Amino acid sequence: MISPLVDLEAGQELDHYRIDALVAQSGMAVIFRATDLRDGRTVAIKVPDPNLETDPVRFDRFRREEEIGAALHHPNVMHIYPDGHRSRLYMVMEWCDGLLLRDILTQEGKLPQERALRIALGILHALEYIHQHGVVHRDLKPENIMVDEHDHIKLIDFGIASLEGAKRLTYTGYTQALGTPEYIAPEQVKGKRGDARSDLYAMGVMLYEMLTGRTPFSGPSPLAVMNDRLQNHPYPPNQAEPGIRPELQEVLYRALEREPKNRYASAHAFAWDLEHLDQVGVAERDELLEWKGKKTGISRKALVYVVLALVPVLLFLAMLLLARHHS
């Protein structure tokens, strides 16, 4: 069912685009597959909630996503087509064939190592490109990776990405404040904005999941998952999947370092190790000895970090409720 706030359906025309089918929807936007009637090209059209234009922060973030996507030109990154002459607010994006990585993992549980590494390298090439252009994705997860039938990938959804040199935008919701609990880096849990190394941490979590069928940290709630990340070592990859060789396990540990300064310095360095596993030195890690001594309680320090990170969200919600009360 299409949101009643979006008055479009298949067969209708929006400027020079024909709406062909509903693809996805959320509380903030609806995405359609459409045809550009000028050249027959298939595109994706993202139509936001009309109320977005009355919310300066959400409006600026929508425009920021369009600005970022229009400036990026890479085979592993979804492109956004700019156009200053439109009858309403919407975004036109490259149509990407394939399945979300999340859907693939749901269907298959875990992937053969060769395929997991092939997909991971595609993602790292995309990250290397966007980081070189001053963009940090900040919400890297399987839901934001499209994979085609040849395992070529497209990095999608720059909704909460940051752009070097641009003004900082206030976030407007729980996931936008903290990303997705299973994939965010420890510094993001602490309320920091995150940088390229935060994307590499999320890439480490995704590679771990592709190889083992699970994520390295777990818990019964988002807070517990984030606390696990701050207090404990990752569950050893070769315990979850015995076929993981020591060199590949070392790569995962390097990507999942709690301190950003100890992680890979770049997507290029991460990819180089994956392509040259025989040359990866294996460290004697405390993580392999201490992982069983898991702390399960929510630490006061972790709770403080999460509460501090949520303060802007709570203030925003209070202001929104107050505005609606007086409207």
Q: Which residue has the tokens 């024909």?
A: 18
**Among residues 7, 97, 139, 157, which one is catalytic?**
139
Nearest to 250 by CA among 231, 277, 269: 277
- Give the CA count within 13 Å in the CB-facing half-sphere of 258: 12
Q: Which H or E run contains 317?
A: helix 300-326
Name residue 88's amino acid.
Answer: R
Cα 189 from Cα 195, distance rounded (Å): 13
- Facing residues of 77 across strands? 74, 155
For 13, the enclosing helix (H) or strand (E) is strand 13-14
Instruction: Please state, in angstroms and rounded to a whole number, the distance separating the CA atoms of residues 72 and 65.
Output: 11
Q: Does residue 139 have an active-site annotation? A: yes
Q: Is there a contact between 59 and 53 (Cβ–Cβ < 8 Å)?
A: yes
Rounded Cα gap, residues 227 and 101, in angstroms: 26
3-state secondary structure of 123: helix
Nearest to 277 by CA among 121, 109, 145: 121
Contacts of 268 (CB under 8 A, 6+ apart): 124, 128
For residues 213 and 216, give the distance between their C-alpha atoms in angstroms, rounded to a whole number.
10
Catalytic residues: 139
